[in-house]
Amino acid sequence: GQQVMQIPQYQHVQEGEDFTTYCNSSTTLSNIQWYKQRPGGHPVFLIQLVKSGEVKKQKRLTFQFGEAKKNSSLHITATQTTDVGTYFCAGRNSGTYKYIFGTGTRLKVLA
């Protein structure tokens, strides 16, 4: 079945350093969404990408969707302690309702 993998699994950074998580799908996606889950919390929607090669920015966060629509990345510039949490990508194939979540990247930011 469809698999969505993320690397790295964990990342510890010093506050102010950059962070990137990569998401790879075994199938071509129709669209991809990114979620953040704080420790003990629920997933919170960050953004969705639909077009091949799309790049979107939200303040310090930059999201990319690969040309082949099989991979995506989230880059955070100058991390802050409020960025702590697990970042999940969630991909959807064409003709299906379901989103397959990636394995997640847990980010810890050291002050």
Pick the binder of another protein from 61, 74, 76, 100 (CB under 8 A). 100
Residue closer to another protein by CB (options 5, 13) is 5
Under the binding rule (CB under 8 A), the answer on residue 38 touching another protein is no
Under the binding rule (CB under 8 A), the answer on residue 27 touching another protein is no
Residue 68 · residue 51 · CB < 8 Å: no
In three-state form (DSSP H/G/I as H, E/B as E, the rest C), the secondary structure along 51-107 is CCCCEEEECCEEEEECCCCCEEEEEECCCCHHHCEEEEEEEECCCCCCCEECCCEEE
User: Which of the ranges 18-26, 40-48, 53-61, 70-78 carries the binding residues for another protein, by CB under 8 A?
Assistant: 40-48
User: Which of the ranges 13-21, 28-36, 52-60, 75-83 carries the binding residues for another protein, by CB under 8 A?
Assistant: 28-36
How far apart are CB 78 and another protein at their closest, in Å?
A: 26
Residue 6 · residue 104 · CB < 8 Å: yes
